[in-house]
Amino acid sequence: MKGKVKSYPLSSSPFFRLSSKKKLSKLLFTTERRLCKVASGDSAPNFHVTNISGREVHIPKQLTRQFHNRIFRLLQRIETPSFLHSGVKRRSHATNAISHVKNGEEKALTIDIKRFYDSTPKRRIYNLFREKFECSPDVAGILANLCCYGDKLPTGSPISQCLAFWSNESMFNKIANISSHLSITFTLYVDDLSFSGERIDDDFLLRIRQVITSFGYESHKIKRLKPSDIKPITGSVIHPKNGLMVRASDWKKIRALRKEIHELKKAKNPEETQKKYEQLIGTLYACAQIDKNFTRIAERTCQSRRDWAKTSS
């Protein structure tokens, strides 16, 4: 059994002070020739571009995805601040929300960064590897070309959330320091900033938005919540008295999926029934991160699917 990979400081990352294309190729399990071919020139051929819900999504093709997965796994091992809950092992949207439960009876504030990946230019990724990781210019250039779609971060790659954070770490550290000095809890989940505490006011909001603007981003979807409000935070809600709860929209989705499965079984449509079962089980396990009681419901649903599969085959 392999031992757990421990996290380490950025200065211990294999990317730190990487100055050779040959060493970079070895790190990414490829040849220098193949790496330079993928990372040179127009990056468009390295991605499938599709449209999901009116939004352009850039999905890396097989070889590029292999590189992205490798880079993501290496970046994921770097120690991160406690306020970050995305792209970090054993942290999730649920732990992000749980951080604010103790402040459930205080004020809260949520802010999104508009088009975070699209607004993160390739030069910022280059500067990340060149300045923070202290890579040589040619290595930083290859990594920036390899990781970006055109002049921005791709929206459909696993690597983007890590790069978006590390290339903007100083911005988020500034926000964390402002919050800490006012005893306000701050957490970050990709582009969702959540705050809770008694001292949230107009001045605090202005200061946070000014920091975001100073780094070239735009804040939107701003919600200020009173102590008595039910507070929606990253896929869950915090009730001022009852704490962390599953959203009403998730309950509605579960009921709808159960109904669809029932109808599809009657119609003897096994392919669609299987798809709906997968959606339902996925939703139940996601809810289980918020409310452990959903684990038992998910397990029973898995058993129900197995029983149905035996009788329908």
pLDDT tens digits for 69-93? Answer: 999 999 999 999 999 999 888 888 8
Q: At a CB cut-off of 8 Å and minimum separation 6, what does 306 contact?
A: none
Q: State yes or no: pLDDT of 3 exceeds 70.
A: no
pLDDT class for 149, splitting at 50, 70, 90? very high
Q: State yes or no: pLDDT of 256 exceeds 70.
A: yes
Among 62-71, 169-178, 272-281, top mean pLDDT goes to 169-178
Tell me what the mean pLDDT of segment 180-199 comes to: 96
Tens digit of pLDDT for each residue in 276-289?
999 999 999 989 88
Q: Which of 66-80, 207-221, 259-273 has the lowest mean pLDDT?
A: 259-273
Report the share of the chain in percent with pLDDT over 90. 69
Residue range(s) of every CATH 3.30.70.270 domain in the chain: 83-114+168-244
Q: State yes or no: pLDDT of 178 exceeds 80.
A: yes
Average pLDDT, the chain: 91
pLDDT value of position 114: 95
pLDDT value of position 141: 95
- Fold of the CATH domain 83-114+168-244: Alpha-Beta Plaits (3.30.70)
Q: What is the C-alpha to C-alpha distance for residues 41 and 291, in angstroms, rounded to an integer?
A: 48
Tens digit of pLDDT for each residue in 297-308?
999 999 999 989
pLDDT class for 103, splitting at 50, 70, 90? low
pLDDT value of position 289: 84
pLDDT class for 39, splitting at 50, 70, 90? confident
pLDDT class for 268, splitting at 50, 70, 90? confident
Q: State yes or no: pLDDT of 124 exceeds 80.
A: yes
Q: State yes or no: pLDDT of 209 exceeds 70.
A: yes
pLDDT value of position 1: 42
Q: What is the model's pTM?
A: 0.84
